[in-house]
Structure 1
C-alpha cells in the first residue's frame, strides 16, 4: 500500500512525563521529537505548547517561539497548531490566538466554536482572511451534522473542507476500534480531505483501516502510548515506525 500522509501528535493537552518520559513538554523537547518523527516518516506535526508548569497553553508567544524553532530545524515538516479548549479556554481566547498568531494551519473543534455563536462565524472569517487552513475536529456524527449545517449557512467557507475524525475520545476508557470509522465515513461519504486519529491501544489498526480507505492519519502520544499487545512505545518516532509497518502489510481496499 502507498504510505498515507502522516501527522504526529506528540503530547496533547493533558498528558505529562508520568505517562511516558519521552513525551515532549518543553519547546526544545518538542523540536527534538519533531526531528526524530520526521526522520521516521511524519509529514506534519500537531503542535501543543505548554506553560512553565507544563499546563496546556494557547499563549501566542510560546507558539511563535515553537513554530519558529520548528521551521528553523525541520523546515520540511508541516506544522498545525491546536486551538483546543481542554476545559480551560473559551472561544474569545481561541479567537485571540488565531488573530494574533495568524498560523498557516490550525485545528478547530466545531463543537467548541458552537459555545459562542456570536463569535463562531468570525473565527471562520478570520481564518479565511488570514489564509489559515482549518482542520475541523469531529468527535461524532452530531459534529458532522453541525458542520454540514454551518457549511449550508455559509458560516464555514466552501474551501474550509478538511476534517479530522476522532475515534474513541468519548467512549468508556477512551478506546477505539476500526469499526468506529464507519459512521463517520457514512455521514461524509464524499469528503476529500480527511484524517483519522484514534484513542487507545488499537490506535494503529484504526489508522491502518483509514489509510486503506484513502485517508490521512494522525498518530502519537496524544492519543495512545502503546501497541495493541500493551507494550509501551519507546517514543513517538517508534510509534510512527510501527504504524508504517502495519500499513505496509495491508492490501488496498
Structure 2
C-alpha cells in the first residue's frame, strides 16, 4: 500500500498558545512549524492566519505575508488556505478572500457557503477561473447531499471533486471514533480524492482507519493536542512523527 498523503493543520481558527505553548500563531511560528512537520513527513499545510489580537483572519495581506514566509522556508510543501467563517465572516467575505489571495489551494465548507446559496456559483466559478483547487469540507452526510445537488446542477464544476470528511466536530466533547468514518464512505463511495481529519484523543486511530481504506490524512493541533492517552504532544511535528510510526506498523 502506498504511503498516505499527510497534511498538517497546526493551529485552526480558535486555539491559542494558552491552549498549548507550541501552537503557532505568527507567520514565523507557522513557517517554523511547517518546516519541522515537513521533515517529520507532512507533505502539505492547512493555513490559518491571525489578526493583531490573535483572532482568526481572512485578510489577504496577512495571508500574503504567511504564504511568502512559507515559500521561503518550505518551498517543497503544498499550502492550502482556509476560508473558514468561524462565526466571524459571511460568504461575501469568504469570496473576497478567494479573489484577493488567489490561492493555489483552498478549503471551503459547503454548509458555510449555503448560508448564502445565491453566491455559491460565484464562489466555485471564481476558484475554477483563477486555478484555485477546492477541497470541500463535509461534516456529515447532509453536507454530502448538498454537495451532490450542487454538482448535479453545475454549481460545483466537475473538476472540484476533492473532499475532507471531518470526524467528531459536532460529537459530544468533540471526540471522534474510527467508526465515524463509515457513514461518509457509505454515502460517498465514488470519492477518489478524499481526506480525513478527526477531533479528540482518537485522532490517530481514526486516521489509521482512513489510511487503511486509501484516504489521505490531516493531522495537527487544529483537531487534537493530545495522544490517545490524553498526553499532550510536544508539538505538531511530534504528532506527525507519531502518526507516521503508527502507519508503518499498521499498513502492509
TM bin (shorter chain): over 0.9
Unaligned runs of 5+ in 1: none
Could you give the per-residue CA deviations for residues 204-235 of structure 1, whole angstroms, max 9, x where no partner exists? Answer: 00000000100000000000000001111000
Tell me how far apart the structure 1 counterparts of residues 14 and 85 of structure 2 sit (CA, whole Å). 11
Other-structure match for 1:51: 51
Is 1:176 aligned with 2:160?
no
Instruction: Tell me the SS of whatever aligns to 1:137.
Output: strand
**CA–CA separation in structure 2 for the residues paired with 1:3 and 1:228:** 22
Q: Gapped runs of 5+ residues in structure 2?
A: none
Which residue of the partner structure matches residue 164 of structure 1? 164
Give the Å deviation of 1:190. 1.2
2:205 is matched with which residue?
A: 205
1:251: how far off?
3.8
SS state at 1:155 partner: coil
Checking the alignment, whether the CA contact within 8 Å between 1:3 and 1:244 is kept in structure 2 is no
Calculate the TM-score normalised by the size of structure 2: 0.99
Task: Name 2:133's counterpart in structure 1.
Answer: 133
Deviation at 1:120, TM superposition (A): 1.2
Instruction: Please provide the CA RMSD for this pair.
Output: 0.7
- What residue number does 1:8 align with? 8
1:162 Cα deviation after fit: 0.1
Q: Secondary structure at the match of 1:42?
A: coil
- Find out whether 1:237 has 2:201 as its counterpart: no
Measured against aligned partners, the alpha-carbon deviations of 1:48-107 in whole angstroms (never above 9, x if no partner) come to 000111000000000001101101111000000000000000000000000111100000
2:75 matches 1:38:
no
Partner Cα separation in structure 2 for residue 209 and residue 158 of structure 1: 28
Cα distance in 2, alignment partners of residues 31 and 101 from structure 1? 18
- Deviations along 1:102-146, one digit per CA (max 9) or x if unpaired, are 100000000000001121110000000001000000000000000
Distance 1:29 1:69 in 2: 10
Asked if the contact 1:165/1:194 (under 8 Å) is kept, the reply is yes
Counterpart contact for 1:50–1:56, Cα < 8 Å: yes
Aligned residues: 252
CA positional deviation for 1:18: 1.3
